[in-house]
A = this chain, B = another copy of it.
């Protein structure tokens, strides 16, 4: 009892500190100077566009949430109101967290620009703190949402059953994340491609030039896609991870070993993550006598060490099992190894980017093919590393069914860093926006140089975030799968003694069919999202062309384009096109669950997982390689800007962008949405399913 009280106090205190910090940073940001009137005007446009998008996105999502909540309320054979309430809470908290985070980002961008006029260091601090609001909101709201539901449902040490009721929270968070990532991802790339293809390629207008009608839409895209979309992704992956680890821990076999402590452990780990993240954020202090990347690295490093120390203490004296600490170290090592792989394949200094740039000299197709080949290859090493980490953490746990909790601990090792990683990731779009505002406001060479310095930092933090996201998604999806399986066992009344009591026998044809359907799913989903981007880009291209044609004196800079129309077009397309993939990705596992039963659905989920992990990595890294191959040429290699190789590399970047920023990230959410939804709806399949061919 004492233990429970202390734990809850620790968790709530950490969360409260997190909330205070969010408020403090937000007001600190607002106190910074936003620069000239022109800068403020452009920033205002961006903020208006981003908020308008988010508002309309929310309005589009709400009916889905409401209808689904009613369905859950009426159809669920057990815990119906809890599931429905959890579902709504998950969606609401997720939207709230990204709303706050994005709002901070759209305030930080122009203040970063202004600071960059005098000091790179100051600009770095502002941009990083701007990003850290998103990072902290996500982890904090996440944890409070779960605590709130536990309190309402009356789940505590005296009543440890019913953890599964929390699955609805994950389902709600996942659904809103899929919408946010899809909507934002389609938006950002449609605007980006559209702006680039007409501006840079057709009319010879440079990037971020105010004459281009799509330029504001492009900058809005950075916020609603890279910032809000990614934030929602990490919110749900955090929620899913905590909840599913708790479900695993609450199952009899682990409860017998770790008791209630094991169930609270993921929340304690999350609290540790919040504290370590706050320390890291304040360590990142830009100074003009130190390279910016150095400051950021110091922040990451401090957070990692703090996590390790606190985690060791918890594992040693609370859980009384140091093996869990080693599993966590393994998880961190694996994530770092994946980051190194990503860096090699997509970094300036690696062979892949250089070779891709070199082959671009033979034309767009050959260059794209080379980048695509490297992207495909990179997937292997990332997958092999994570496969080995899974095996080793399982082995540390002694193999057998008890090893599952160690895989969960390894995953926590990766997820604890989420807050600071997300802060670094949101730093990217803020720096992009800052550069855009600087360019549009004509602030000149010095500010541009500061922007380039920040951009270099952004590239590193993005690669880090990507490698981490890949690792977190792959490892986390294992834990979700186990939670699903434990739920099947619970509902079917299976007594678990060995891992072979879960019979997902891959030789059984219904399971094979499930696996096939799962492996194919990410292909369908990616196809739909890529086509949505293309359609939006096409509309933007037509509109920008029209404005250049119809608005007099636009090209010579003596008229203002109609930015709002491009923003509006892109918003409509993105919101419309995010619906079909979401519905399809919900319907297919429901069909599998109802017709082929829970084991075939498990095979389906494994198929989605394995295939998404491979395809999304290939897409991420293809995009990253092609992007940096273009930048390498722009830096002067193989003929530099304006050469034939450059034109080919620009085409390569255009091809790669939607892969890495729309389809790739959405796949991560797809996996988790399908999984947590299956956990939530499991009682339905068990009660009403047809169980054909079984």
Residues on A close to B: CB < 8 A? 193, 197, 201, 359, 362-366, 368-370, 372-377, 379-380, 383-384, 386-388, 390-391, 394-395, 399, 403, 407, 478, 481-482, 485, 499-500, 502-513, 515-517, 519-521, 523-524, 526-528, 530-531, 533-534, 537-538, 541, 602-603, 606-607, 610-611, 613-614, 618, 651-655, 658, 693
Closest to A541 in B: B362
* Contact between A504 and B506, CB atoms less than 8 A apart: yes
Query: What separation, in Å, do the CA atoms of A467 and B611 have in the docked complex?
Result: 22
**Residues in B whose Cβ lies below 8 Å from that of A658:** 369
Q: In the bound complex, how far is the Cα of B520 from the Cα of A136, in angstroms? A: 34
**A362 touches which of B528, B537, B611, B693 (Cβ 8 Å):** B537
Residue from B370, B380, B499 in contact with A524 in the complex, judged by beta carbons closer than 8 Å: B380
A212 to chain B, nearest CB (A): 16
Q: Are A366 and B524 in contact (CB under 8 A)?
A: no
Distance in Å from the Cβ of A371 to the closest Cβ of chain B? 10
Asked if A651 and B363 make an inter-chain contact with CB atoms under 8 angstroms apart, the answer reads yes
How far, in angstroms, from A521 to B381 measured CA to CA in the complex? Answer: 10
Whole-angstrom distance between the alpha carbons of A394 and B541 in the complex? 51
Evaluate contact between A478 and B368: CB separation under 8 angstroms: no
| Given pairs A369-B654, A370-B530, A500-B507, 5 additional interface contacts (CB within 8 A) | A362-B537, A365-B654, A512-B606, A607-B610, A651-B651
For the complex, what is the distance from the CA of A173 to the CA of B655, rounded to whole Å? 39
Give the CA-CA distance A368 to B371 in the complex, in Å.
14
Task: With A390-B509, A516-B387, A528-B377 as known contacts, state yes or no: A366 contacts B502, CB within 8 Å.
Answer: no
B485 near A507: Cβ-Cβ < 8 Å? yes
Known: A370-B531, A651-B364. A499 touches B505 (CB 8 A): yes
Closest CB of chain B to A651's CB: distance in Å? Answer: 4
* Chain B positions within 8 Å of A653 at CB level: 365
Interface centre among A510, A519, A524, A654 (most CB of B within 10 A): A519
Contact A523/B610 with A390-B512, A485-B507, A534-B359 known, Cβ cut-off 8 Å: no
Complex Cα spacing A507 to B605, Å: 11
Most buried by B among A537, A610, A618, A693: A610
Report chain B residues within 8 Å CB of A520.
Answer: 379-380, 383-384, 614
CB neighbours (8 Å) of A499 from chain B are 505, 507-509
Tell whether, in the assembled complex, residue B366 and residue A538 are in contact, meaning their CB atoms are under 8 Å apart: yes
Q: Is B374 within 8 A of A527, CB to CB?
A: yes
Indicate whether A519 sits within 8 Å of B610 (C-beta atoms), given known contacts A369-B658, A391-B513, A500-B505: yes
In the complex, which residues of chain B have a beta carbon less than 8 angstroms from the beta carbon of A517? 383-384, 387
Residue of B nearest to A518 (CB): B610
Q: How far is the CA of A27 from the CA of B503 in the complex (A)?
A: 59
Give min CB distance, A536 to chain B, whole Å: 11
In whole Å, how far is A304's beta carbon from the nearest beta carbon of chain B?
A: 26
Query: This chain: how many copies in the complex?
Result: 2
Q: With A and B bound together, what is the CA distance between A613 and B611 in angstroms?
A: 11
Contact of A530 among B369, B403, B512, B654 (CB under 8 A): B369
List residues of chain B with CB within 8 A of the CB of A364. 364-365, 651
Q: Which of A201, A369, A407, A499 has the most CB of B within 10 A?
A: A369
Return chain B residues, CB-CB under 8 Å to A407.
509
Query: CB < 8 Å: which of B369, B482, B512, B524 contacts A534?
Result: B369
* B residues less than 8 Å from A388 (CB atoms): 513
CB <8 Å contact, A509 and B394: yes
Closest approach, in angstroms, between the C-beta of A607 and any C-beta of chain B?
6
Q: Give the docked Cα–Cα distance between A536 and B338 (Å).
A: 31
A502 near B509 with CB under 8 A, answer no
Residue in contact with A377 in the complex, picked from B370, B373, B403, B523, CB distance below 8 Å: B523
Contact of A377 with B527 at beta-carbon distance under 8 Å, contacts A363-B201, A363-B651, A506-B504 already known: yes
* A432 to B481 Cα, complex, angstroms: 51
Task: Determine how close the nearest CB of chain B comes to the CB of A620; give it in whole angstroms.
Answer: 13
State A655–B36 Cα separation when bound (angstroms): 48
Interface pairs A-B: 9 shortest CB-CB: A377-B527, A365-B654, A373-B530, A376-B527, A383-B520, A502-B507, A380-B524, A387-B513, A504-B506
> Bound state CA distance, A537 and B481, in angstroms?
45
Asked if residues B516 and A613 are in contact (CB atoms below 8 Å), the reply is yes
Query: Judging by beta carbons under 8 Å apart, are B654 and A519 in contact?
Result: no
Residue of B nearest to A379 (CB): B523
How far is B515's CA from A512's CA once the two chains are assembled, in angstroms? 13
Give the complex CA separation of A530 and B693 in angstroms.
41
> Whole-angstrom distance from the CB of A384 to the nearest CB of chain B?
6
* Chain B min CB distance to A452 (Å): 25
What B residues does A611 contact at CB under 8 A?
Answer: 519, 610-611, 614
> Is B395's CB under 8 angstroms from A693's CB?
yes
A362 and B197 contact, CB distance less than 8 A: yes
A641 to chain B, nearest CB (A): 18
Contact present for B504 and A503 (CB under 8 Å): no
CA gap between A68 and B448 in the complex, in Å: 62
**Bound-complex Cα distance A613 to B618 (A):** 17
- The CA of A371 and the CA of B507, in the complex, are separated in Å by 35
CB-CB under 8 A from A618, the residues of chain B are: 523
The 7 sampled A-B contact pairs (Cβ below 8 Å) are: A366-B537, A370-B531, A376-B530, A387-B516, A394-B693, A506-B603, A515-B610
> What residues of chain B lie closer than 8 Å to A531, measured between beta carbons?
370, 373-374
Write out the residue numbers on chain B whose beta carbons fall within 8 Å of the beta carbon of A655: 365, 368-369
| A693–B537 touching, CB < 8 Å | no
Residues of the B chain whose Cβ atoms lie less than 8 Å from the Cβ of A372: 530
Across-interface contacts of A359 in B (CB, < 8 A): 534, 538
Bound Cα distance from A510 to B602, whole angstroms: 17
- A511 to B387, alpha carbons, bound, how many Å? 10
Chain B residues whose C-beta falls within 8 Å of the C-beta of A387 in the assembled complex: 512-513, 516-517
